[in-house]
Amino acid sequence: MFGKISDALRSLFRKDNLERDMNQELRFHVEMETRRNIERGMTPAEARFHALRDFGGVEKFKEECRDVRGGRLIESLLQDARYGARILLRNPGFTLVAVLTLALGIGANTAIFSVIYGVLMRPLPYKEGNQLVIVHQQAPLAHVNDTFFSVKEVMDYREQSQTLDAVVEHHTMSFTLLGGSEPQRVQTGVVSANFFDVLGVTPVLGRTFLPNDDDKGSDAVLVLSYKYWKESHGGDPNIVGRVFQMNNSPHTVIGVLPPIPQYPVEEDIYMPTSHCPTRASEQFMANRNARMMSVFGRLKPGVPVAQAQADLSVIASNLAKQYPDSYPANRGYAAVVAPLQEELTRRARPTLLVLLGTSGLVLLIACANVANLTLARLMRREREMAIRSALGAGRGRLVRQLLTESTMVSLAGGALGLLLAAGGLRLLVTFAARFTTRSEEIRIDGLVLLFTVLVSVVTGLVFGLVPVFSSDRNLNNSLKEGGGRTSASVSRQRTRNLLTVAQVAVSFMLLIGAGLMLRSLIKLQSVSPGFDPEKVLAMRVSPNWSKYNTTDQTRLMLQRLLDKVRSEPGVQSAALSSTYPLNQLGIVNGPFNRGFQIEGHPIPEGELAPQADFRSASPGYFETIRLPLVKGRTFEDIDNEKAPPVAVINQSTARHRWNDEDPIGRKVSFDSGKTWTTVVGIVGDVKQYGLDREPSDEIYIPLAQSGFANNLLVRTQADPMNIASLMREAVYQVDPETAIDRVQTLDHVREDAVASPRLTAILLAMFAALALVITAAGIAGVMALSVSQRTHELGVRLALGASPSRVLGMVMRQGMYYVLAGLSIGVAGALLLGRLMSALLFSVEPSDPITFLAVSAVLVAVAAVACFVPALRVTSIDPMLALRSE
């Protein structure tokens, strides 16, 4: 078989050579024959004549020889292509419209596919990434799905696991890096020394950690992430070996990572566990309940995840038995393992799949349009086809010609679509970055190109075949004139109408999808966050904590900071707190729960203590963000470390824990009854974790009594960002080694909270609008064609006395009939498929009647216009002319 193909290719490329060979061989034969004839006694002329005659028709069997040679197929395909190109260029209108329509459809699919491939399908850029897993601890009875690990727990799992090759830990800290141009807050990943070995990551500069880098007492070393290295150190090639001060000791940079996605968060730098002050403290390492780390592992070769799961569950139950105090039975305890690739993509999956479905539908609509256009054009080529058929072209050959043309159109559309997708790629990457750290892996590469080509070819075949299947070739009728009334064209009309119905139905479904998303977005944006984000500046301040050895020193410094800031001009009020509502960090890291005990309500045996989010706030916090006070009072300066402990709770907590009783004056304890804190106030609920999430129970205690807070909030009179640099200066004046980052207005934070659904809604709306435009164009085209084909019939009606408006009405009614048919199918389809979208919707039902009504109205209106404009031609039909024409 390969011989045949190579021969065919050779024939193609060395055609001239082979032709020459063949000619020479045949010439030789004729000469020999001539010579023999001369020997037999003929004259040279006679001899040659006889020789040639005996030979037979030279061309005919040259053809046969060529046929045997093969290479015919490719030649005739090229011939088809050349012919098709001529035809397409002669009809620029059709070609342009078809190519553009397909470009939009195929381009959309290419774009979405590149995102899906990069995020969902591409194997992780780690060595044998499918063997990497992440381990979670759970307290299922307390509804805790993901608890960190303590040092002892990591060691237990590492030592006892039989299915995991390596177990590594990871946690994120925020440290201040000194030695650059200004003190810099760096997000630091603190990891086991073999972390990068387990991931199989090779550095682009220097090295990663060696096994003894996390031994106690080893030298402090750092590995930089690629992005951080590029952005904060300008990609300095000599960065390896530089020393920075961190946590009061020198740290040497030993390497830079390649640009890979990082999980769970993008870090700036990495350090070994031995040099994280918290992690390395004896106290922390000895406490089984001091939990801070995430755990990753690599499966042993050939071990399925299910086996690892069983293995870890055994370890978990053993630990629970061994240390019942750490794993109280009333909370439950389990260990869960999941492939890393799944974790990285979980959040993005539903949205991306919805988008894929959407773009697929858009392509179908585009195909239907182009099929309609092709059908219309085909009518004019009937005579050409009939003649070719009469001259001996088989049906297969004619079909091949049509398919070649349609594939050429779709490939051209695909190429243009690829350009469009490449142009919109940035937008898509930004979009995906909200859901996954893999967004950087989205690119247009070989596989995406292949996908585009494949989709283009299939599209071309699909809409090329539609006309073929929609009519039967009746040669006689085609050759006769007046072909507009043959049975072939009637069935073509039926196909066109069916396509229109399908287009309307699909457009409707897309519009519903977009409409639901938009309504969902509007509802989300109008949710009251519970506070007033206008004109408030937030920034994270991180002094060099190692300078302040006691809580007192910290407290003093923070107070000085507040005083300084409050004295600045333009500041209406200022406060410090451990977090603020809708803080993105809070959303990523999750709630900071603490159990507490209510005086007079001892926790029964086996039951869970009441949980609440724990916050610390300076006086002025609630006023600065305008969190309303419902009852009692907020914090004041007298609530300092020497005063009795007080707390403020939110309405949610009051409702859940005290029902109708008044919580003011009641006491709670955070340390099982050793000390008691009095509730002095109730404030309103805020949407802490997202506008679409319910508020959680919250308890605030004064900064002076907790000793720690690192978010500065400032309410200003003018635009908050204007005074940002002023605030920076003020902070530096208090302590120049303070790192300041995450500077943003609370308005921006609130906008951020709806950014994802907004982007999704925008994308869906764009697709739906596209679909509507394409469908409208399709309807208009079909209507125009139908009117021009029925000129004769309509002329008769007009001649017989019907008024133009009546005829117009009839034509429009007939057109709208199909639109309404499509609408009904679309409604049914949307009701069925709407459920697939419910994960993305906020407080909107997939069968929301308002959306359905609105979309129906829009669709009918647009379709009516699309029908009306071409139908208007009916009124300008001159009956006399129409009767005379065919």
Partner 1 sequence: MAKQTDLLQGTLDMLILKTLALGPMHGWGISQRIQQVSQDVLVINQGSLYPALYRLEQQALIKSEWDKSDNNRQAKYYELTRKGRKQLTEETESWERLSAAVDRILQTT
Give the residue with the Cβ less far from partner 1, 30 or 820.
30
Minimum distance of partner 1 from residue 6's CB (angstroms): 10
CB atoms within 10 A of CB 457: 16
Q: Is 1 in the site for partner 1 (CB under 8 A)?
A: no
Which amino acid makes up residue 501? V
Give the residue with the Cβ less far from partner 1, 7 or 534.
7
Give the residue with the Cβ less far from partner 1, 29 or 383.
29
Q: Is 60 in the site for partner 1 (CB under 8 A)?
A: yes
Minimum distance of partner 1 from residue 34's CB (angstroms): 11
Give the residue with the Cβ less far from partner 1, 54 or 793.
54
Q: Is 25 in the site for partner 1 (CB under 8 A)?
A: yes
Assess whether the previous peptide bond of 125 is cis (omega < 30° from 0): no
Give the residue with the Cβ less far from partner 1, 57 or 123.
57
Give the residue with the Cβ less far from partner 1, 35 or 535.
35
Minimum distance of partner 1 from residue 766's CB (angstroms): 55
- Cα–Cα distance for residue pair 874/412, rounded to 1 Å: 36
Residues whose CB is less than 8 angstroms from the CB of residue 328 and which lie 6 or more positions away in sequence, other chains included: none
**Contact present, 203 and 185 (Cβ < 8 Å):** no
Stretch that binds partner 1, among 28-36, 495-503, 648-656, 808-816 (CB under 8 A): 28-36
Q: What is the DSSP string of 713-733?
A: EEEESS-GGGGHHHHHHHHHH
Minimum distance of partner 1 from residue 68's CB (angstroms): 5
Q: Is 592 in the site for partner 1 (CB under 8 A)?
A: no
Dihedral sign (CA 401, 407, 413, 415)? negative
Residue 641: C-alpha distances to residues 149, 408, 444, 549, 758 (Å): 32, 79, 59, 17, 45
**Contact present, 843 and 520 (Cβ < 8 Å):** yes
Q: Is 65 in the site for partner 1 (CB under 8 A)?
A: yes
- Cα–Cα distance for residue pair 582/561, rounded to 1 Å: 24
Binds partner 1 (CB under 8 A): choice among 12, 15, 26, 91: 26
Give the residue with the Cβ less far from partner 1, 3 or 396.
3
Minimum distance of partner 1 from residue 393's CB (angstroms): 23
Minimum distance of partner 1 from residue 44's CB (angstroms): 15
Give the residue with the Cβ less far from partner 1, 38 or 240.
38
Minimum distance of partner 1 from residue 3's CB (angstroms): 6
Minimum distance of partner 1 from residue 16's CB (angstroms): 16
Q: Is 19 in the site for partner 1 (CB under 8 A)?
A: no
Stretch that binds partner 1, among 30-38, 224-232, 747-755, 769-777 (CB under 8 A): 30-38
Cα 678 to chain center, whole Å?
Answer: 48
- Subset of residues 677 to 716 that bind partner 1, contact rule: CB under 8 A: none
Give the residue with the Cβ less far from partner 1, 56 or 234.
56
Q: Label residues 168-203 b or e (16+ Cβ within 10 Å = b).
A: bbbbbbbbbbbeeeebbbbbbbbbbbbbbbbbebeb
Stretch that binds partner 1, among 66-74, 337-345, 679-687, 797-805 (CB under 8 A): 66-74
Stretch that binds partner 1, among 49-57, 233-241, 426-434, 519-527 (CB under 8 A): 49-57
- Cα–Cα distance for residue pair 221/215, rounded to 1 Å: 12
Stretch that binds partner 1, among 2-10, 41-49, 491-499, 614-622 (CB under 8 A): 2-10
Q: What is the DSSP string of 60-100?
A: HHHHHHHHHH--HHHHHHHHHHHHHHHHHHH-HHHHHHHHH
Bridge partners, 594 (sequence order): 612
Minimum distance of partner 1 from residue 72's CB (angstroms): 13
Binds partner 1 (CB under 8 A): choice among 32, 390, 427, 643: 32
**How many residues interact with partner 1 (rule CB under 8 A)?**
25
Q: Is 13 in the site for partner 1 (CB under 8 A)?
A: no
Q: Is 61 in the site for partner 1 (CB under 8 A)?
A: yes
Give the residue with the Cβ less far from partner 1, 2 or 469.
2
Alpha-carbon dihedral 148, 151, 153, 159, rounded to 10 degrees: 130
Residues whose CB is less than 8 angstroms from the CB of residue 313 and which lie 6 or more positions away in sequence, other chains included: 334, 335
Residue for token digits 């001899």? 47
Q: What is the DSSP string of 105-134?
A: HHHHHHHHHHHHIIIIISPPSSTTGGGEEE
Give the residue with the Cβ less far from partner 1, 73 or 850.
73
Q: Is 64 in the site for partner 1 (CB under 8 A)?
A: yes
- Cα–Cα distance for residue pair 208/127, rounded to 1 Å: 15
Binds partner 1 (CB under 8 A): choice among 14, 40, 55, 806: 55
Give the residue with the Cβ less far from partner 1, 25 or 146.
25
Q: Is 14 in the site for partner 1 (CB under 8 A)?
A: no
- Cα–Cα distance for residue pair 551/579, rounded to 1 Å: 19
Site string for partner 1, 69-98 (x = CB under 8 A): xx----------------------------
Minimum distance of partner 1 from residue 77's CB (angstroms): 20
Phi/psi at 167 (5° precision)? -125, 120
Residues whose CB is less than 8 angstroms from the CB of residue 490 and which lie 6 or more positions away in sequence, other chains included: none
Phi/psi at 842 (5° precision)? -120, 115
Q: Is 68 in the site for partner 1 (CB under 8 A)?
A: yes
First to last CA, the chain: 54
- Cα–Cα distance for residue pair 815/837, rounded to 1 Å: 32
Nearest residue to 405 via CA among 465, 450, 362, 363: 465
Give the residue with the Cβ less far from partner 1, 8 or 498.
8
Q: Which residues bind partner 1 (CB under 8 A)?
A: 3-4, 7, 21, 24-26, 28-29, 31-33, 35, 54-57, 60-61, 64-65, 67-70
